């Protein structure tokens, strides 16, 4: 999978979809419907990449007064609470490219908005069977759970989360003595278990020691490797308070073990290895 690189200048142009898709061999597409997309994951444009900087600011606003006017009107609509139509995005791997809605992205960013509604068309690597299989696995996970904000680097990690959600579903049904749908259980698991732990991972900056690893990768790794995996229920975060306390300890332990020569490189190879 493609790991995002940091440190790019805001004045660089947006990524161009056609150039990226040709380089990666992405051709076939799937209509993924309307989704809620994290704005920071929108990194490029379909046909207009040279008109905008990497942070979606307009490259030459002096020559495009109409564009500034459009952005201002959209901001006014957002402040009034008006519902705006979903933007159109193309997706490759974990990245999104704007087909229609550049000005809505700019306005949303200026308003501090973190997420946006989008109609998503996802592209697949036709010449790469392993890559296509990986993406299809993620799509199956999203369709089964209804969760679209978890992106992993390893195919088998999706199966691990599905088992965790299944166990969580059984636990909910035992406690409530009534049937719970898998999507309902997945949403409850995401809000009660995954999101708080993922936020803790970000807060204590574990990714500092594992560049290229995603927060979700670290979550799965911790569940299986550092006693966050409940021995009977088979779920991470059986006691959320203890889980968060353990994560703080892990951060300190990580600082200590990474001082040992060679260990950091070994762990990074684990996260970067393709499934």
Task: Kindly report, residue by residue over 196-220, the tens digit of the pLDDT.
Answer: 888 888 887 767 767 678 889 888 8
d(CA 210, CA 269): 10
Query: Quick one: angle between helices 195-203 and 215-225, nearest 10?
Result: 100
> Average pLDDT over the chain, rounded to whole?
80
Q: Running DSSP on this structure, what letter comes out for residue 1?
A: -
Q: Are 151 and 59 in contact (CB under 8 A)?
A: no
Buried b vs exposed e over 39-76: b needs ≥16 C-beta within 10 Å? beebbbbbebbeebebebebeeeeeeeebeebbeebbe
Element (H, E) at 164: helix 155-176
* Global pTM value: 0.69
Q: Are 169 and 180 in contact (CB under 8 A)?
A: yes
Q: Are 17 and 44 in contact (CB under 8 A)?
A: yes
Structural domains in the chain? 15-127 (3.90.1530.10), 144-272 (no CATH)
**pLDDT value at position 132?**
84
**pLDDT value at position 270?**
53
Given a cut of 80, is residue 6 above it in pLDDT? Answer: no
pLDDT band per the 50, 70, 90 thresholds, residue 236? low
DSSP string, 134-152: HHHHHHHHHHHH---S---
Q: Are 215 and 259 in contact (CB under 8 A)?
A: no
Note the pLDDT tens digit of each residue in 57-103. Answer: 888 766 566 888 889 999 999 889 888 999 999 999 889 999 999 99
């Amino acid at each position: 999978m493609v790991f995002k690189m940091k440190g790019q200048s805001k004045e660089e142009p947006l990524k161009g979809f056609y150039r990226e898709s040709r380089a990666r061999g992405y051709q076939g597409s799937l209509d993924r419907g309307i989704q809620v997309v994290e704005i920071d994951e929108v990194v490029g444009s379909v046909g207009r990449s040279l008109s905008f900087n990497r942070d979606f600011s307009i490259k030459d606003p002096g020559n495009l007064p109409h564009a500034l006017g459009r952005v201002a009107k959209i901001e006014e609509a957002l402040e009034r609470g008006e519902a705006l139509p979903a933007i159109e995005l193309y997706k490759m791997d974990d990245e999104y490219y704007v087909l229609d809605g550049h000005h809505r992205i700019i306005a949303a960013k200026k308003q501090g908005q973190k997420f946006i509604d989008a109609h998503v068309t996802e592209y697949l690597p036709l010449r790469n069977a392993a890559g296509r299989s990986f993406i299809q696995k993620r799509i199956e996970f999203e369709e089964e759970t209804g969760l679209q904000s978890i992106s992993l680097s390893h195919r088998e990690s999706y199966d691990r989360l599905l088992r965790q959600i299944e166990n969580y579903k059984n636990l909910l049904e035992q406690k409530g003595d009534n049937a719970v749908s898998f999507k309902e259980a997945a949403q409850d698991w995401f809000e009660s278990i995954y999101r708080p732990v993922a936020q803790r991972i970000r807060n204590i900056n574990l990714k500092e020691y594992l560049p290229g690893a995603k927060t979700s990768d670290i979550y799965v790794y911790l569940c299986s490797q550092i006693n966050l995996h409940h021995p009977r229920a088979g779920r991470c975060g059986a006691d959320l308070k203890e889980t968060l306390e353990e994560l703080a300890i892990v951060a300190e332990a990580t600082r200590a073990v990474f001082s040992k020569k060679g260990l950091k490189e070994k762990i990074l190879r684990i996260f970067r290895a393709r499934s």
